[in-house]
Amino acid sequence: MLQQVNGHSSNPDAHGRKPLREDLQEFLGQEAPLHLLDDLTKVNPVTLETVLRCLQARYMADTFYTNAGCTLVALNPFKPVPQLYSPELMREYHAAPQPQKLKPHIFGVGEQTYRNVQSLVEPVNQSIVVSGESGAGKTWTSRCLMNFYAVVAASPTSWESHKIAERIEQRILNSNPVMEAFGNACTLRNNNSSRFGKFIQLQLNRTQQMTGAAVQTYLLEKTRVAYQASSERNFHIFYQICKGANADERLQWHLPEGAAFSWLPNPERTLEEDCFEVTREAMLHLGINAPTQNNIFKVLAGLLHLGNIRFADSGDEAQPCQLMDDAKCSFRTSASLLWLPEDPLLETLQIRTIRAGRQQQVFRKPCSQAECDTRRDCLAKLVYARLFDWLVSVINSSICADPNSWTTFIGLLDVYGFESFPDNSLEQLCINYANEKLQQHFVAHYLRAQQEEYAVEGLEWSFVNYQDNQTCLDLIEGSPISICSLINEECRLNRPSSAAQLQTRIESALAGSPCLGHNKLSREPSFIVVHYAGPVQYHTAGLVEKNKDPVPPELTRLLQQSQDPLLKVLFPADPEETSQEEPSGQSRVPVLTVVSKFKASLEQLLQVLQGTTPHYIRCIKPNGQGRAQTFLREEVLSQLEACGLVETIHISAAGFPIRVSHQSFVERYELLRRLRPRMSPAPHSPSDEGRSEWSPHAEAPTLQPLLQDIFHSLPALTRAAATPGGPAEATPASVHCGKTKVFMTDSTLELLEHGRAQVLDQCARCIQGGWKRHRQRKQERQRQAAVLIQAAIRSWLTRKHVQRLHTAATVIKRAWHKWRIRMALLASNELDGVEEKHLSHAPRSLSAFPLPQAQTQLLGAIIRLWPLGLVLANAAVGVRGFQRKLVVWACLQLPSSGPSSYPVQTAQEQAGVTSIRALPQGSIKFHCRKSPLRYADICPEPSSYSVTGFNQILLERHRLGHV
């Protein structure tokens, strides 16, 4: 029977009949299980084609995140997926014991960085680099990560700290819409493209609670204020104020309905980002009140009107250019909104001031039409750049914490994506230069550093070829000659520079670089740089002017004269700044160019990243049209090749991402020696000696036996970790011991941590058992002592109680005896006369009945004492049964032989016995009446001595009283 594994037949004949290409195609054709592979390192074989098929299968199954070793690949879904970023999912990843076992997600990366900061050994600052092309979803990914950190890192204990954390969280989240409104724009590839780079530093205290944040920005594309490419738009904020202002605000800002502005192209296009109310509310939460907001929007409206100013060519170089007729209204409106005097503003735009000579003589030269437009654009860019920097400072002052209140941070870098447009200039050169530096950082951190370290540590390692972009970086920033140095040199020469001349200098000076190319079919002067993501053609026209970024001093002085409160803050009247702006010709300091400033800020950013543990998220754009469920392999393939993802997968699959020094490894996992198989050692076993000789400051030779003991415990851990229903033998742990470090995989680290937790659990159980045993014995001794004390106290209390009862019983007994004797004496004295008078009639009465002698004597006594018998018959205690009946009978069967006998008077018509009275010298009267009960006159046991017609109610009353 043939067996197939991953589509490959185990039959050698069948395998030989199939060409290798067909066999590979059969393997790659199985797309059904590909969407279940959550890590691209599990793809076999690891090639661009198999990786591409796996990503496509997962993308079509609405699975947009895939691990690639140390990197997370994020595919842009181009559609809203609310359940993918819900708060419930955030809490699930945060509460999971092992988030890496959940599905790949940006929340998994965020939780990993947060737990790394929580490390008790040595917390290390973390950073997440979100990279990718424009439109791949970097801004959305950064926004979701900020939401995740705001949720998981804001869990204080007290109510006061909860309110503080809630306020900080809200301000951090509100910084996003403000910065996106003022720094993002719609481009050809992305409706919400970041036109600046930002590094957000989320600050955490010792308890890993978010106490604040800080934002650092890089290279705002301020030229977009005055120039927008075809089918692109200006910054979002300009469209927001034009579409979201109410009637009063439109009247105040001079923005009528349907007004056309030159710097506001494609106003009919409506985007999700054109939400004015969200921006205003976020600014309000950041501490920017309504009057200040109104001031900001009024300045922006003034810039829009400034863009409608047009100058007519004077035809004479000695005469300044005049405003066109249709631009005069816009000029007055702009001057009014910016609170600038009209005449100085017009003069500043028309005439250039030149200082020359040692005496610094001032010359005034009228500007040409192109120069007037350039000065107008420079004024708008200067105001907008200052406004953006001021907003960033306001945000930082609102969300930044005291340096003493936070100890660690998590950095979030959202930098521009790689860009290649039909017309590329200085902005695209700087953006792609930044991406080259970040790619080099990634290569140095994960690829080259790993392979070099393996070689130094003496590990057997088959090196993987990866794409190194150092040649391209040498072309852009190298020393002594590079593209940046040549552009800066052109700026320092202070001479008119033509585009063709700059192209010629670059091609001649850098002709030996393999990353420099030339398009012979291009009509405009340009050069080509072969980046890691592909070749890009840069036009040299305007490159030097943009690098200079000249700001005429008269423009700055003009803005300092503004009466607008916001412009006064943006352009303060600083004498030192004025003196620096007007240096003498002999002591002129070289102007800091745009490229130089950007390079310095980029170097500072890389220094911060190198001091952190970086994590990478590669955003991939499935197609360039922004359509959902559309996966274009050619575009995705170019992005995979550009970011070196396949090389990353190769090294991550075969490498060892966990590296720990020998000392730290022994200190943490020395407990695992308890789990090694126990054999019968010799009397003086070296292992036992090693166990006792280890110390925290042991030397490297001493650590080797300890390391071997720990490694010998790994098989036992592997067998213990194997599932009962799994294979018979678990996969052996991947761990290698280098010269100074121990190299292992993530699975091995989990295995070691599981074994360490097991040993600690056993130790804890042993300690708990000893403590519980000690506590149980102590409690038992206390219980016995308490029982002994209680028994003694209860015995004493019982004796005292019995003594009191005995004393009380004696008193009652004596009193009862006295009372009984007294009653008997009173009864005998009262009945003495009756006994003497009728004693002679008793025998004759008794002789009529043939009774035994004992009963005859009893009847005689009863006759004599019949009143007492009647009383006893109705008492609760006394004689019982036949004797009681006999007493009653004797009391009622009185002698009736003579007239002097005691008569019994009955009254049947009366209700019951009304009275019974003993007459010492007369008869006893019974007053009775017939009972209303049906059988009251029937005796249940008739006898010859019974009295018929006797009311049984008296007996029933006795029974009730007796019961």
Bigger pLDDT: 917 or 79? 79
Contact yes or no for 144/83 (Cβ under 8 A)? no
Q: pLDDT confidence of 613, banded at 50, 70, 90?
A: confident
Within 118-208, residue ranges assigned H as helices are 138-152, 159-183
Residues 669 and 661: their CA atoms lie apart, in Å, by 12
φ/ψ of residue 254, rounded to 5: 60, 50
Of the chain, the percentage scoring pLDDT greater than 70 comes to 72
Tell me the C-alpha distance between 686 and 694, whole Å: 12
In whole angstroms, what is the distance from residue 698 CA to residue 797 CA? 70
Q: Which of 254, 181, 255, 193 is nearest to 229 (CA)?
A: 193
Least-confidence region, from 52-61, 487-496, 575-584, 607-616: 575-584
pLDDT digits (tens, 9 = 90+) for 353-362: 887 767 777 7
Which residue is associated with the tokens 């009173």? Answer: 826
pLDDT at 941: 52
Which of 35-49, 125-139, 665-679 shows the lowest per-residue confidence on average (mean pLDDT)? 665-679
Cα 60 from chain centroid (whole Å):
29
Helix (H, G, I), strand (E, B) or coil at 414: strand
d(CA 7, CA 22): 11
Burial class (CB in 10 A: 0-12, 13-18, 19+), 19: exposed
Q: Kindly state the average pLDDT of the residues 165-189.
A: 85
What pTM does this model have? 0.66
Q: What confidence category does residue 523 fall into, taking pLDDT thresholds of 50, 70 and 90? A: confident
Instruction: Say if residues 552 and 378 touch (Cβ distance below 8 Å).
Output: yes
Q: What is the mean pLDDT of the chain?
A: 78
In what helix (H) or strand (E) does residue 744 lie, and over which residues does it extend? strand 741-744
| CB of 554 closer than 8 Å to CB of 348 | yes
CB atoms within 10 A of CB 441: 17
pLDDT tens per residue, range 661-700 = 888 888 888 888 776 655 444 444 444 444 444 454 455 5
Note the pLDDT tens digit of each residue in 757-803.
Answer: 888 888 899 999 999 999 999 999 999 999 999 999 999 999 999 99
Lowest mean pLDDT among 69-73, 92-96, 264-268, 740-744: 740-744
Residue 722's pLDDT is 62
Q: Please, are residues 223 and 263 in contact by the beta-carbon 8 Å criterion?
A: no
Mean pLDDT, rounded, for 921-938: 52
pLDDT confidence of residue 915: 42
Q: Please, are residues 599 and 215 in contact by the beta-carbon 8 Å criterion?
A: no
Write down the pLDDT at residue 536: 93
The answer to whether the Cα torsion of 96, 97, 102, 104 is positive or negative is positive
What are the structure tokens assigned to 937, written together? 């006159």
CA–CA distance from 3 to each of 45, 336, 728, 731 (Å)? 20, 84, 20, 22
User: At 248, is the secondary structure helix, strand, or coil?
Assistant: helix
Whether 224 contacts 404, CB under 8 Å: no
Q: Cα separations (Å) of 183 from 219, 227, 380? A: 10, 15, 15
725: DSSP letter: T
Q: Report helix, strand or coil for 365.
A: strand
- Cβ atoms of 194 and 139 closer than 8 Å: yes
What radius of gyration do the chain's Cα atoms show? 54
Q: Which of 91, 95, 112 is nearest to 615 (CA)?
A: 112
Burial category of 785 from C-beta neighbours within 10 Å (exposed 0-12, middle 13-18, buried 19 and up): exposed
Q: Which of 51-65, 415-429, 758-772 has the lowest average pLDDT?
A: 415-429
Supply angle C-alpha 208, 211, 214, rounded to 5: 115
Residue 932 has pLDDT above 80, yes or no: no
Task: Provide the pLDDT for residue 686.
Answer: 40
- Whether residue 13 is predicted with pLDDT greater than 70 in this model: the reply is no
12 vs 385, which has greater pLDDT? 385
Q: Are strands 65-68 and 71-75 parallel, antiparallel or unpaired?
A: antiparallel
449-469: per-residue pLDDT in tens?
677 777 787 777 666 666 678
Q: Which residue has the tokens 């076992």?
A: 101
φ, ψ for residue 198, nearest 5 deg:
-140, 145
* pLDDT value at 491 more than 50: yes
Whether residue 332 has pLDDT greater than 70: yes
Confirm if 11 and 2 have CB atoms less than 8 A apart.
yes
From residue 616, alpha-carbon distances to 130, 389, 412, 441 in Å are: 6, 28, 10, 11
Cβ(138)–Cβ(621) below 8 Å: no
Between 279-283, 488-492, 912-916, the lowest mean confidence (pLDDT) is in: 912-916
Which pLDDT belongs to residue 716? Answer: 73
Q: What does the pLDDT read at residue 948?
A: 43
Nearest-10 crossing angle of helices 853-864, 881-892:
60
What letter does residue 504 receive in the DSSP assignment? H
Other C-beta atoms lying within 10 Å of the C-beta of residue 334:
26
User: Would you give the distance in Å from CA 671 to the centre of its chain?
Assistant: 33
Distance CA 903, CA 572 (A): 140
Helix axes 633-642, 48-60, angle to 10 degrees: 120
Q: Report d(CA 261, CA 203) in Å as an integer.
A: 42
Give the pLDDT mean for 846-865: 52
CA distance 908 to 116: 110
Query: Regarding predicted confidence, which is higher, 464 or 338?
Result: 338
What confidence score (pLDDT) does residue 391 get?
95
Residue 190 pLDDT level (bands cut at 50, 70, 90): confident
- Distances, alpha carbon 38 to alpha carbons 28, 51, 110, 129, in Å: 17, 11, 17, 21
Rounded Cα distance, 55 and 74, in Å: 10
Give the model confidence (pLDDT) of 818-842 as tens digits. Answer: 998 988 888 888 776 555 555 545 4
Question: Which region among 182-191, 544-553, 903-912 has the lowest average model confidence (pLDDT)?
Answer: 903-912
Cβ atoms of 141 and 106 within 8 Å: the answer is yes
In degrees rounded to 5, what are phi and psi of residue 186?
A: -90, 125
Highest mean pLDDT: which range of 121-125, 396-400, 745-749, 901-905: 396-400
Average pLDDT over residues 470-481: 91
Percent of the chain at pLDDT exceeding 90:
34
> So what's the pLDDT on residue 10?
38
Pairing of strands 210-218, 197-204: antiparallel
Choose between 703 and 588: higher pLDDT: 703
**Tokens describing residue 346:** 């017009």
Backbone angles phi, psi at 435, to 5 degrees: -65, -35
Its sign, for the CA torsion 41, 721, 116, 157, is: positive
Residue 82 is classified by DSSP as: G
- When mean pLDDT is compared over 56-60, 317-321, 580-584, the highest value belongs to 56-60
Q: What is the pLDDT of residue 914?
A: 41
